[in-house]
Structure 1
Amino acid sequence: MEFFDTKKNWSETNIRVGRSWKLDELRIKSNVDLHKLWYVLLKERNMLYTMEHECNEQTRLFPNPERIDKVQESMNNIETVIRERNIAYYKLETGETGERPVEDVLNLFGLPEKYNKQEYYIPQFMNSRWVRPYLEHGYINSLAVKKFYRLYKEKQYNEVRKARNRDFNHVQQLLKRFPNMDMEKLKAEYPNVDIEKAKRTKKARGHYMPLY
C-alpha cells in the first residue's frame, strides 16, 4: 500500500505540499542523509505515478500534479550535489575530474557537437563505419554537406541581422516618443544598438527640433 497515498487524500482536490529541495540545503547534508533522502523521494515519486495512473483509469482529477515536478527537481539537485562531490574527490586524489572525457567533433551534417568518449571493442582506425564518412572524399566533405552548412550559416546570420534591425527600429521609435529619456539606461538595455546613429535618423526625430 506504500504505492498509494494515504486514504484521507483520496477524495481531496487540493493537497497542501511544500517546495522542492534546493541545492544550498543539500550541500550541507552528509552522504548518508542524501542517500536516505534519495530513497524517500524515490518512493514518493513511485506513489505519485501510481496515483496519477489510477486517477486516469478512474477518470478523476489528479490533485496537485506539480508534486511530481517538485520531487523530480529535488532528485536532480541531489544528483548535482553528488556529482560535485565526486569531481572534488577525484581532483584531490588524481588531479582529474573522473568524468567521462568530452571532445568537440563534427557530426555528419558538418555541425559541431559534444561527444562523450566511450570504450569500443575495436580501435578507431579499424572501425570503417565510423572512419569512412570522415575521409577526404567521405560524406562529411561532400558537396551536399558543404551546401547545407553554407545555407545553415546564412540562416543564422539572417536571424542575427533581423534581430539587430528590430532592436534598431525599436530604439528609433523610443527616441521619437520619448526624446528626454535617459540615454545611459537605453544603452544598457540595447548594448548592440548604435544610439548615436539612431539619433541622427529621420525616424527618431519626429515633428520637432531635436535637443541633441
Structure 2
Amino acid sequence: MNYLANTFLRTSALLGFRSYAACSITTKNNVHTSRISFDLMEFFDSKKNWTESNIKVGRAWKLDELRIKSNTDLHKLWYVLLKERNMLYTMEHECNRTMRLFPNPERIDKVQESMQNIETVVRERNVAYYKLETGETGERPVEDVVNMFGLPEKYESSEHYLPKFMNTRWVRPYLEHGLINSIAVKKFYRLYKEKLHNVERRARNRDFNHVQQLLKRFPNLDMDVLKAEYPNVDIEKAKRTRKARGLFDPKY
C-alpha cells in the first residue's frame, strides 16, 4: 500500500512538473515586452524644452512623401502624430494656465497638416482599390438638394431604418405641404439674393473707384498689369471718368 502511494505521489509530481514546464514554455513564447512607460509624462514635452522660448522643429509631411509609404508605415505615423498633437495641446493648455508663452505654436498646425495629408493619401488608396474591384469610388454619394430655407446644399446619403416614402414626418412638411415653396421661404430667398447682389455690387464699385485712383496717381501705369489685377473692372470706362483724369491730361 505504501509502495502504491509513493508511486502515485511520484507520478503526480512528475506530471505536475511536466505540465508546469509545458505551460511555462508556451507562456514564454507568447509573452512580449514593450518599451518603458512614462505614465502621464507622455502628455508633456521633454523637460529640457520647458524653459525654451524657441524650439527647432521640422516641416509637415508632404503628400508626395506619404504616397511612397506603405499602409503599415502610415498607420504607425498616424499614431505618432496623434501622440504629438495630444502633447502639444497639453503643453499649450499648461502654458495658458501658468500665463507663459507657448513656444512655436505653429507646431500644432504642422501636425494637423500632416494628419490631413495622411487622410488624403488613405482616401486616394481606398478610392483606387474600390474602383479596381467594384468600379465605384466606395465613398458616400453626394447629391444637390434644397434645404428648408430654399438654399442649395450638398447632401451626403446615409442609411436610414425607414424608407423615404414611408417617413411621413419628413415627407408631409417637406414635400406635400411644400415648405420649400411657401411664401415665407420665397421671401427669405428673394431677400437673400438681394443681399448677395448688394455685396457683389459694393465690391465691384470699390474696385472701380480704386482703379480710378490708381490711374490718377500713376498715369504711366501698365494697362495689361492693371487688367490682369482687376479683370472685372472696365478699364476703358475708368479712363474717361473725371476722377481718373485729375487736374492734368493723362498720356494714355
TM, length-normalised to structure 1:
0.91
Candidates 35, 39, 42, aligned match of 2:79: 39
Residue equivalent to 2:11:
none
1:119 maps to a residue whose letter is: E
- Residue 43 of structure 2: SS of its match in structure 1? coil
Q: Is the 8 A contact 1:133 1:140 kept in 2?
A: no
Alignment partners' CA distance in 1, 2:44 and 2:247: 71
Deviation (angstroms), 1:136? 4.9
1:54-203 correspondence runs (5 A): 54-203=94-243
How far 1:58 sits from its partner (Å)?
A: 4.7
Q: Which residue in 1 is equivalent to 2:26?
A: none
What is the rounded CA distance, in whole Å, between the counterparts of 1:50 and 1:83 in structure 2?
29
What is the CA-CA distance between 1:124 and the residue it aligns to? 0.3
Do the aligned partners of 1:108 and 1:133 also contact (CA within 8 Å) in 2? Answer: no
What corresponds to 1:21 in structure 2?
61
Q: Which moved more, 1:200-209 or 1:102-111?
A: 200-209
Structure 1 contact 15–63 (Cα < 8 Å) conserved: yes
Cα distance, 1:112 vs structure 2? 0.6
Q: Per-residue deviation at 1:187? A: 0.9
Q: Secondary structure at the match of 1:135?
A: helix
Q: Which has the higher mean CA deviation after the structures are superposed, 51-60 or 2-11? A: 51-60
Range with bigger deviation, 196-205 or 111-120: 196-205
Structure with greater helix share of residues: 2
Give the secondary structure class of the aligned counterpart of 1:208: coil
Q: Which amino acid aligns with 1:89?
A: Y
1:205 has 2:245 as partner: yes
Give the drift of 1:110. 0.6
Moved over 6 A (4+): none
- Partner residue, 1:10: 50
Q: CA deviation at 1:59?
A: 4.9
Question: 1:87 touches 1:98 (CA, 8 Å); kept in 2?
Answer: yes
Structure 1 distance, partners of 2:226, 2:243, is 17
Q: Distance in 2 between matches of 1:169 and 1:62?
A: 44
Task: Give 1:6 deviation, angstroms.
Answer: 2.4
- How many residues are matched? 212
Q: In 2 relative to 1, CA 53–207 (structure 1 residues): closer, same or farther, beyond 3 Å?
A: closer
| C-alpha distance in structure 1 between counterparts of 2:175 and 2:128, whole Å | 40
Identity %: 83
Residue 13 of structure 2 is matched in structure 1 by none
Change (3 A) 1:184 1:64: closer
Structure 2's unaligned 5+ residue stretches are 1-37
Contact 1:134-1:141 within 8 A present in 2 as well: no
1:134 CA drift (Å): 2.5
Deviations 1:94-124 (A, max 9, x none): 2211110001111111111111100000100
Distance in structure 2 (CA, Å) of the matches to 1:133 and 1:162: 38
Q: Kindly name which structure, 1 or 2, has the bigger radius of gyration based on alpha carbons.
A: 2
2:94 and 2:216 mapped to 1: Cα distance?
60
Q: Say which structure, 1 or 2, has more relative contact order (CA 8 Å, 6+ apart).
A: 1
Question: What is the CA distance between 1:16 and its match in structure 2?
Answer: 1.8
Judging changes above 3 Å, is the alpha-carbon distance between structure 1 residues 62 and 170 closer, same or farther for their aligned structure 2 residues? closer
Query: Per-residue deviation at 1:38?
Result: 0.8
Per-residue deviation, 1:39: 1.3
